[in-house]
Amino acid sequence: MKTHMKKVMSMVAMAALSAGAMAGELEFAKENPLKRDKSAAAARGWEIGVQVWTFGAYSLEDQLALCSALDLDFIELGPKVKFSQPEEAQVALLQLDDKQAAYLKKLLADHDLNFKQLYVHIPGTRENWEAFMKFAQQWGVDTLVAEPKYENLAMVDELAQQYKIKVAIHNHPNLNNKYWKPEMATSRIGELSEWVGLNPDLGHWIRMGVNPAEEVKKTEVRNRLVSLHFNDCEELGANKSPHCVTGSGAGQLDDMMKTLRETKFTGRFAIEYAHWNNNFQDVQKIVQYFDEQAK
């Protein structure tokens, strides 16, 4: 019994410490917001944003507060959000009731955030795809980040053209993923319209031994880039390699950014950073790296 109580007390203490650290990070962000010079990036047609999963330990309210302190051009949400108000449960965006939808719109407006991209993973049926397309139209989202089934690509292209919503194909770092290697995507979408493109996760490329600096030199890759999940990893070809501050890892991202400048790439960079423990200052550094590269 005493052992059990000690374990419970230890868990409570750890939770309190975590809550305290999170509160401290929120306070730091509030007191130290970024003030960016966006002129160089804007001149290149580049935008920097955050996939809010980066701050996944927090409620949506706090995620958006952290994003707001980064002076971003956009945010990318996932298919579910975790409100602390008006209720605790995680809610699918397609199932928001009127009260929840109004509350989300207020949060975005209060934080002056532009919700432009939505990660939807693998909607299976035409009905599901169409539901996300309609949602995107209603919310001003212009890009769905997804991993369509091969057999659905033509249908996805049709819907993308109909609803004027881009679909950017994403990748994950395992051999069972249909798009882990860039040519597995480009070979499938070469005959599709410009409404279907790529959203490579750079860190996942690195983990699978794919060098971003070399890939963006390929016309068939670069011409299909819509946006990137902008991250870096410590080691090339190591499946579990952890994220590190973008530009400091194995991805040769200085060279990649040089190629994107020279080839006049226009598009978005969405930070997705998997270190959840007090990561705000790291994400600040990534935004600053982006602005320096834009110059």
pLDDT digits (tens, 9 = 90+) for 173-218: 999 999 999 999 999 999 999 999 999 999 999 999 999 999 999 9
Question: What is the spatial distance between Cα 6 and Cα 12, in angstroms, rounded to a whole number?
Answer: 10
76 with 50: CB under 8 angstroms? yes
CA atoms within 13 A on the CB side of 154: 2
Confidence of residue 88 (pLDDT cuts 50, 70, 90): low
pLDDT confidence tier of residue 228, bands split at 50, 70 and 90: very high
Cα angle value 214/187/149 (rounded, 5°): 115
Would residue 60 count as lying in a domain? yes
Count of domains observed in the chain: 1
Neighbours of 136 (CB within 10 A): 23
Distance (Å, whole) CA 228 – CA 269: 5
pLDDT digit string, tens, across residues 243-277: 999 999 999 999 999 999 999 999 999 999 988 88
d(CA 155, CA 153): 5
Whether 44 shows a pLDDT value over 70: the answer reads: yes
**Assigned domain for 20 exists:** no
Query: What pLDDT, on a 0 to 100 scale, did the predictor assign at position 7?
Result: 45
Q: What is the CATH number of the domain that holds 283?
A: 3.20.20.150
Query: What is the extent of the structural domain holding 238?
Result: 33-294
Give domain status of residue 17, yes or no: no
Say whether pLDDT at 8 is over 50: no
More confident residue, 229 or 11: 229
Instruction: Say if 102 falls within a structural domain.
Output: yes
Range 135-156 average pLDDT: 97
In this structure, is residue 87 part of a structural domain? Answer: yes
* Residue 85 pLDDT exceeds 70: no
Q: Would you say the pTM of this structure is higher than 0.75?
A: yes
Assigned token pair, 229: 């999940």
Percent of the chain with pLDDT over 70: 93
DSSP letter at 241 equals P
Q: Which of 187, 189, 220, 215 is nearest to 201 (CA)?
A: 215
